[in-house]
Structure 1
């Protein structure tokens, strides 16, 4: 633990150069609260920054603190911060918009061109003992919810946004491409919406096995399965909705082939290339709606409700836990063992 003016933090200096350091503790502005961080989940984007030093347009060109799946307790409140008190347990919504542009004013603040997203370089994130966050982007959690569950509010928000963008209805057949954390959470969220039957597709046999143990879902592996034929047969002509949670250009190109005529393709994963090949003829012929997901907006209250009522139970996704003092080891393990990990949690205590 640092002094009253300093704190311990995980600082990323460049690819594969994460250091546990003492840094200056942030001072909350008048509309902010200082949150003592209890736990962080390691996101796939954190691993991209750790391994490659970049993700899409964001580049690690100076030392910064990663992390954005976090929960904690309010330590201090700014003079004009409203709705939050010292001692409140909170989940942190990490995308801070300008609140002035037309997107913010119409409620789609995730499209704000001036959004500050904690952990998107150069914005510091939450792998630290403290973070200063605007009070209206802190969401109180019930006493019955653990800090780890609260940290899941952020990735669950991505899944809720994806289902909302799909306008997902009960009994809609769906396919999820990708059995990583976001894919699994999207599947479980779609089930909570009443959709089904659902199918998960992935190349990783270990993750598919985990998916089956989690929910008994039908799974397909392109290495051994004819994915298009299997989906068409299982859904009577194609899935009503296809979620691509991989960011793979090949998966994005496959998604319209799996969708029913008049179906919806939702692109959730950030693309690995700027202009992936897309089967435009299939999209036109089948009148498929292709919809993008840019993080989330207005989803945290629903995420906290789903978690607190265990309508979406994400606790089984936690595959490994590390103490905060071992955060460098946690990143190295998560980056080096993708087949063995689902969600790695880093907190005040750990295995």
Structure 2
């Protein structure tokens, strides 16, 4: 535990400062971690650019980072399953554990959840960080800290496919070929999907998706959702019975409604406009189920099994690495379309 606890702290839009914060002392059921790998998420970029993401606003300085893995350096009272030296992935959302939502397994919807780097809660883009032990998942020797950090977006993908009820024989449309969209494609195939089509405006991202197993890809070149829905059906040879919207673009949501087979499901992963105009009558008369998701619940074990077994190769999406002091450059790289970045990892132990 030598050295200062340096942290990347967001004070407002485009205002990241490197500050020394106190080294935390683990309490009951907590562990202190030396942070290793922390990924940059789309929500991190929104906070960095605008100070806001969805309904959350940065109103006080906040340590960034929530896609993370590190090494246990100290355990608090009551911790029996982890010890110093264990490498763990951090599930960043910690609920109250006692409300009805928690007790029925929907702890991601707990009204008192504390989630890393979601105002007002600090994240883990720092050297030392403490976290409840039961939300830390021990990594097998063959799983790296980089892969451990990738369990967070992979958990989103797992939860999205579960909500969409992807299974053997499913035909899946995924709007948006970013990290979560491509991970959802990889998970859908592991769950038995017969075909998976991804749409995007980026040729590079679609090429990555195709190289990693996408059945079909379409570069979006129209502003007519019905026209794109027709392209999707012609390319797949059928209408998808599960559509997963990962682009956070209203147009994609409308496209999914037109494209989805009657009786199918649309899973809303991306965060588009608060008040989006949709073809409601089409969705209603097709009996298409529109399902929201908020993060994930009980998905880290499955995500870890996918990675440790080699079923899902998350390393293939990691394109850039930066030390903690280069966090600003890392964010610029993650945001820039010219960098062709997929997943950018910050190494807090460098």
TM-score normalised to structure 1 length = 0.94
User: 1:16-165, aligned counterparts within 5 Å?
Assistant: 16-165=14-163
CA–CA distance in 1 between the matches of 2:222 and 2:339? 18
Contact in 2 for aligned 1:40/1:68 (Cα 8 Å): yes
- Deviation string 1:145-164 (CA, Å, 9 cap, x unpaired) is 11111111111000000111
The 8 Å contact of residues 2 and 22 in structure 1, kept in 2 or not, is answered as no
Q: Deviation at 1:111?
A: 1.1
Give the aligned partner of residue 266 of structure 1.
267
Alpha carbons of 1:224 and 1:255: their partners in 2 closer, same or farther (altered >3 Å)?
closer
Partner residue of 1:199?
Answer: 197
How far the C-alpha of 1:237 sits from its partner, in A, is 4.1
Q: Distance in 1 between matches of 2:245 and 2:283?
A: 15
RMSD (Å) for aligned C-alpha atoms? 1.7
What is the distance in 1 between the residues matched to 2:134 and 2:214? 39
Residue in structure 2 matched with residue 229 of structure 1 by the alignment: 230
**Contact 1:39–1:147 under 8 Å retained in 2:** yes
Quickly say closer, same or farther: Cα 1:338–1:20, change in 2 above 3 A: farther
Which deviations, in whole Å up to 9, do the C-alpha atoms of 1:118-161 show, x marking residues without a partner? 11011111110111101110111100111111111111000000
Question: Mapping of 1:243-282 within 5 angstroms?
Answer: 243-271=244-272, 273-282=273-282
* Partner secondary structure for residue 257 of structure 1: helix
Distance 1:167 1:206 in 2: 29
* 1:328 positional shift: 2.2
TM-superposed CA distance for 1:46, in Å, is 0.5
Q: Segments of 4+ in structure 1 off by > 6 A? A: none
* Shift in CA distance, 46/316, structure 1 to aligned 2, threshold 3 Å: same
**What is the rounded CA distance, in whole Å, between the counterparts of 1:349 and 1:82 in structure 2?**
25
Asked if the contact 2:33/2:128 (under 8 Å) is kept, the reply is: yes
Q: Which moved more, 1:203-212 or 1:173-182?
A: 203-212
* Kept after mapping to 2: 8 A contact 1:206/1:339: no
Distance 1:91 1:173 in 2: 32
Unpaired segments ≥5 residues, structure 1:
none
TM-aligned CA deviation for residue 339 of structure 1: 5.8
* Aligned counterparts of 1:121 and 1:2: Cα–Cα separation in 2: 29
Q: Which runs of 5+ in 2 are unaligned?
A: none
Q: Secondary structure at the match of 1:8?
A: strand
Q: Is the 8 A contact 1:2 1:8 kept in 2?
A: no
Separation in 2, partners of 1:26, 1:196: 48
Question: What SS class does the counterpart of residue 260 from structure 1 fall into?
Answer: coil
Q: Which residue of 1 aligns with 2:321?
A: 321
Identify the residue that residue 211 of structure 1 maps to in structure 2: 209
Count of aligned pairs between the two proteins: 347
